[in-house]
């Protein structure tokens, strides 16, 4: 029983630290500063994008929780996810349009575009099925950094299975839901980057 408790605690820690907000935020930071010409530009681009993609949805979730429209801040109920997803999608669309107008490096725009497409599809699926956003996010990030680096970080592909296991172990998702998240994310990221000659 004690060993089972330890395993469950490990799974919960992995699940917490692989939160989509954390994973995508750190990845956005990496991509922006990697392709920005200087730190000042990187900071401005990151601050602008994270305010629309991360802060706005988080603020929406907080307001919805205070108003009693959602069960908890973790969005454990499938029906609580649609609103924050749409807010995040809108923020990404605005960010992409502004970045395109400012002629910001294509790699940054492609990263946001791939996340947008993943979230749009996930928003639709969420209407009737609880696909794993954790699996979607971690897979998207691992795929992105590898396609942008010529698969220099191939060893990062060990991360999605651990995150997927943690979500199943903590009974947040079924095996089918995490596998579907991983597969959907892999296909979308690969197609987006391949269409723009990055593979």
Alpha-carbon separation of residue 135 from 42, 62, 167, 180 (angstroms): 28, 23, 8, 8
CA Rg value for the chain: 17
Helix (H, G, I), strand (E, B) or coil at 187: helix
- Sequential pLDDT tens for the chain (199 residues): 667 778 888 999 999 899 888 899 999 999 999 999 999 999 999 999 999 998 998 888 888 888 888 877 677 777 777 888 899 999 999 999 999 999 999 999 999 999 999 999 988 998 889 999 999 999 999 999 998 888 889 999 999 999 999 999 999 899 999 999 999 999 999 999 998 887 6
Strands (E), the chain: none
Place of tokens 């993943």: 118
Answer yes or no: are the C-beta atoms of 119 and 92 closer than 8 Å: yes
Instruction: Output the pLDDT for position 3.
Output: 74
Answer yes or no: are the C-beta atoms of 148 and 198 closer than 8 Å: yes
Contacting residues for 154 by C-beta, under 8 A, at least 6 apart = 146
What does the DSSP assignment read for 48-79? Answer: HHHIIIIIHHHHHHHHHHHTTSSS-TT--SGG
- This prediction has a pTM of 0.87
């Amino acid at each position: 029983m004690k060993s089972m408790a330890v395993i469950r605690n490990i799974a919960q820690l992995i699940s917490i630290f692989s939160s989509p907000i954390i994973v995508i935020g750190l990845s956005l930071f990496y991509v922006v500063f990697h392709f920005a010409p200087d730190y000042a530009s990187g900071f401005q681009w990151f601050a602008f994008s994270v305010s629309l993609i991360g802060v706005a949805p988080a603020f929406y979730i907080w307001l919805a929780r205070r108003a009693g429209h959602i069960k908890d801040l973790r969005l454990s109920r499938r029906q609580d996810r649609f609103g924050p997803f749409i807010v995040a999608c809108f923020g990404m669309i605005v960010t992409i349009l502004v970045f395109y107008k400012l002629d910001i490096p294509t790699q940054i725009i492609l990263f946001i575009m791939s996340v947008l497409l993943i979230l749009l599809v996930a928003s639709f699926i969420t209407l009737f099925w609880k696909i794993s956003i954790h699996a979607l996010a971690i897979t998207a990030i691992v795929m992105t950094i590898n396609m942008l680096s010529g698969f220099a970080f191939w060893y990062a592909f060990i991360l999605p299975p651990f995150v997927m296991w943690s979500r199943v172990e903590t009974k947040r998702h079924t095996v089918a839901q995490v596998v579907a998240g991983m597969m959907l994310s892999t296909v979308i990221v690969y197609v987006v980057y391949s269409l723009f000659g990055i593979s």
